[in-house]
Chains A and B, each alone.
Chain A
Amino acid sequence: MIKVENLSRVYRRSRTSPLRPRAEVHALRDVSFEIEAGRRFGIVGESGSGKSTLVRLIAGLDQPTAGAVTFDGQRVDGRSERRLSFLRRDLQVVFQDPTGSLDPRMRVRDIIAEPLVAQRIPGQAERVAELLAAVGLPADAGRRFPHQFSGGQRQRISLARALAPKPRVLVADEPVSALDVSVRAQILNLLSDLVEQFALTLVFVSHDLSVVRHVCDTVAVLRSGELVEIGDVEQVYREPRHPYTRQLVQAAPTLRGALSGVTAADLISERKRP
């Protein structure tokens, strides 16, 4: 469904001296993989590993330096925004920052309806009401502004917006890392439920392997812009082949345990147990 071939993205820093060439930052180096329909595909890596760059390239929000992104056989890269309508309808993104990704001057109903308005999909008012219910927000939330909601609720608004045009693929870029630990589990559960309910293909980006393990079935591990390991999430978690993955597996639970005593993943497994 989504195919990434030899994808590279080089950012050029601004000149520090007129004599020296501009410094280059390789955010992604020669990354290739394929995401099949119906998968829950996790992308793991520490900050600076190129996760967000990868998401932007897949969502057609940035242009690669080299390589290709295809969605259902159609090239995503190298197209003007106007010719990306096929992608905009079928692939939607939930961003990391629940405050920054909602326009402070728009009412919630206009935020959720934005993909519908932009893509000229009729029946907006009914769809917004439907979506508010689906993400567990009160019906009168539409009249209010984003700053009147908590972080978790705002991420629900973000989810509702992403689901509005009935996409087939949902891309979530660190959807819970800006939230309180106590709220993370709720949002992750909601995300999982919605993905199941609407039979979505999920691309889930996180720095936390234990969270990916509970949400995804497949995982790709990124390090400094390179794909170091890819495979079934349980297998990667139990028998990591690459030393970096081993580090991630070992570090994640102990660090989280030390910092907060309980991880979001623990909270999910608690809910799933009974």
Chain B
Amino acid sequence: MRNLVIGAVLVGLIVLAALISFLWTPFDPTQVDAALRLQGPSGAHWLGTDRFGRDLVSQLMVGARTTLYVGVVAVGVAAVIGTPLGVFAAAGPRWLGEIVLRANDIMLAFPALLLAIMFGAAFGASTLTAMVAIGIATVPSFARLARGSALQVLNTEYVLAARSAGRTGLAISVRHVLPNIAGLIIVQCSVSFGIAVLAEAALSYLGLGTQPPTPSWGRMLQESQELLAVQPRLLIVPGVAIALAVLGFTLLGDGLRDRFDPRLEGHRAQG
């Protein structure tokens, strides 16, 4: 329960910052001003400015948008492809399921970052290629989870009862398997969201993700790395933001896991 609350608060803050940034930011996050470069925190610039004189708070707020955008698309791609694939591997014909499973294992062994770098080289570096690559690289973990939990559901007596009621393959997958694995999938989404945020930061840091002038937490790190010794603030601020985002989504996932356990649900309803 505590995990859920802390996770929800952290994620809520990021969402709030991103939403507000559409309407208002303290300064234009892309406005360069040589006179204001490398200023420390002050009344006007709460977290100071970077080496181009851009306001850090404004960049963080707009960067939150990029972070959420990346997470939603990457996790969306992974869940929408991975979940049906996993359920099919469990419920479909055995030999086909076996093929899906082996292909999945090969994909699982393939590093996400390498895939993203290849995508970047092939399709040009951008936020979209980065998140699609991260999404595709995350498909196997969804497929594996979906298959494992679908197999469990398919072995239950209520699926047997559904078959004796006259339900066939697809209807069982849609009516019984998906609702019963949805909780686990949502948990996986939350955890993967954190991983995607981190991956986007890493890619942007490498110059393969979000391109200037769009602010991104990963790029904020990259642009300031030479100033690590002189102005550690410039790295600590986006670093902490990334860490809190990953922590928030992971805690949210953990909290949701407890929430979605059907056995615990029974106790709550009675209690």
CB closest residue in chain B, given A113: B165
Contact present for A118 and B156 (CB under 8 Å): no
CB closest residue in chain B, given A104: B262
**A271 interfacial contact with B, CB 8 Å:** no
Contact present for B265 and A147 (CB under 8 Å): yes
* The one of B160, B265, B266 that contacts A95, using a Cβ cutoff of 8 Å: B160
| Interface members, chain A 61-104 (any B CB < 8 Å) | 61, 81-82, 84-85, 88-89, 92-93, 95-97, 100-104
The distance in angstroms between the C-alpha atoms of A96 and B179, with both chains bound, is: 23
The distance in angstroms between the C-alpha atoms of A28 and B156, with both chains bound, is: 22
* The one of A85, A145, A158 that contacts B166, using a Cβ cutoff of 8 Å: A85
Contact present for A114 and B180 (CB under 8 Å): no
- A contacts with B, residue count (CB < 8 A): 32
**B42 interfacial contact with A, CB 8 Å:** no
Given A105-B262, A148-B269, the answer on whether A114 and B160 have CB atoms closer than 8 Å is no
Given A95-B160, A147-B265, A148-B270, the answer on whether A104 and B165 have CB atoms closer than 8 Å is no
Q: Inside 8 A of B166's CB, which chain A residues have their CB?
A: 84-85, 88-89, 115, 118-119, 165
Q: Inside 8 A of A60's CB, which chain B residues have their CB?
A: 164
CB closest residue in chain A, given B160: A61
Contact present for A97 and B269 (CB under 8 Å): no
Contact present for A61 and B164 (CB under 8 Å): yes
* The one of A56, A88, A145, A148 that contacts B165, using a Cβ cutoff of 8 Å: A88
Distance in angstroms from B17 CB to nearest chain A CB is: 35
Q: Inside 8 A of A106's CB, which chain B residues have their CB?
A: 175, 179
Distance in angstroms from B185 CB to nearest chain A CB is: 13
Given A114-B167, A115-B166, A118-B166, the answer on whether A101 and B266 have CB atoms closer than 8 Å is no
Q: Inside 8 A of A118's CB, which chain B residues have their CB?
A: 162, 165-167, 171
**A223 interfacial contact with B, CB 8 Å:** no
The distance in angstroms between the C-alpha atoms of A85 and B165, with both chains bound, is: 9
Contact present for A81 and B169 (CB under 8 Å): yes
CB closest residue in chain A, given B158: A103
Distance in angstroms from B181 CB to nearest chain A CB is: 10
Given A147-B265, A148-B270, the answer on whether A81 and B158 have CB atoms closer than 8 Å is no
Residue from B157, B168, B169, B176 having most chain A Cβ neighbours under 10 A: B157
CB closest residue in chain B, given A93: B164
Residue from B162, B164, B262, B269 having most chain A Cβ neighbours under 10 A: B164
**B44 interfacial contact with A, CB 8 Å:** no
The distance in angstroms between the C-alpha atoms of A147 and B264, with both chains bound, is: 11
The distance in angstroms between the C-alpha atoms of A102 and B270, with both chains bound, is: 18
Q: Inside 8 A of A216's CB, which chain B residues have their CB?
A: none
Interface string of A47-59 (1 = CB under 8 A from B): 0000000001001
Distance in angstroms from B151 CB to nearest chain A CB is: 15
**A161 interfacial contact with B, CB 8 Å:** yes
Contact present for B168 and A114 (CB under 8 Å): no
Residue from B165, B167, B179, B266 having most chain A Cβ neighbours under 10 A: B165
Interface string of A5-41 (1 = CB under 8 A from B): 0000000000000000000000000000000000000
Distance in angstroms from A170 CB to nearest chain B CB is: 11
CB closest residue in chain A, given B268: A147
Q: Inside 8 A of A119's CB, which chain B residues have their CB?
A: 165-166
Distance in angstroms from B149 CB to nearest chain A CB is: 13
Q: Inside 8 A of A85's CB, which chain B residues have their CB?
A: 166
| Interface members, chain A 231-255 (any B CB < 8 Å) | none
**B106 interfacial contact with A, CB 8 Å:** no
**B161 interfacial contact with A, CB 8 Å:** yes
Q: Inside 8 A of B94's CB, which chain A residues have their CB?
A: none
The distance in angstroms between the C-alpha atoms of A59 and B169, with both chains bound, is: 17
Which A residues are closer than 8 A to B by beta carbons? 56, 59-61, 81-82, 84-85, 88-89, 92-93, 95-97, 100-106, 114-115, 118-119, 145, 147-148, 158, 161, 165
Taking A88-B165, A119-B165 as known contacts, 17 extra A-B pairs with beta carbons closer than 8 A to each other, sorted by chain A number, are A60-B164, A61-B160, A88-B166, A95-B161, A97-B157, A100-B156, A101-B158, A101-B161, A102-B158, A104-B266, A105-B180, A106-B179, A147-B262, A148-B270, A158-B161, A165-B165, A165-B166
Which B residues are closer than 8 A to A by beta carbons? 156-158, 160-169, 171, 175-176, 179-180, 262, 265-266, 269-270
